[in-house]
Amino acid sequence: MSYELDPLPYDYDALEPHISEQVLTWHHDTHHQGYVNGWNSAEETLEANREGGDFGSSAGAIRNVTHNGCGHILHDLFWNCMSPEGGDEPSGALADRIEEDFGSYEAWKGEFEAAASAAGGWALLVYDSFSNQLRNVVVDKHDQGALWGSHPILALDVWEHSYYHDYGPARGDFVDNYFEVVDWEEPSARYEQAVELFE
């Protein structure tokens, strides 16, 4: 199986002034493409090792599948959690669940912002299928700190390549502006899929 980079679901300048055309171009076309290439390369190595019966490089390739695969999956979710029509709050079943599990939207958002300030990679809202509840998760790199059995609902990339060109070291300003473009349609659909599977 070969993985491909999907085009952005909007124009490169569609999220301005919150995220610049330049950042989206670099981030999507170069950085995200690198994870797709890395995943494909790791899979090719594993396949060749299986066919040849030589597993000397397999452990490294397995790690590369995890790192690059998570990078590809989370970036794909990140792009789809934003749109030019974003900036609202969640509604419907996801909004109700956020209030149930966090007490209020404001409490969830404050905790999510705390996760974003601490992460060395990603702040995620996930559905924890073990505990049957929503959680905020701090993930370093792409896979360190992830919770087994959890399903990403909302993703915020806080690696420096996501914001330094636009905001310099002011990560908090980037996080504030992320909420100006968050589109809850994708997270709501992902939440409903997770609940359908596990509740």
Annotated binding site for Mn(2+): 27, 75, 157, 161
| Phi/psi of residue 153, nearest 5 degrees | -110, -45
Contact 61, 46 (CB under 8 A): yes
Pick the closest to residue 38 from 12, 8, 6, 5 (CA basis). 5
What is the edge-to-edge ordering of all strands in the sheet holding 133-140?
133-140, 121-128, 150-157
Annotated binding site: 27, 75, 157, 161
Pick the closest to residue 13 from 24, 29, 26, 2 (CA basis). 24
Contact 95, 191 (CB under 8 A): no
Contact 184, 93 (CB under 8 A): no
| Phi/psi of residue 183, nearest 5 degrees | -115, 115
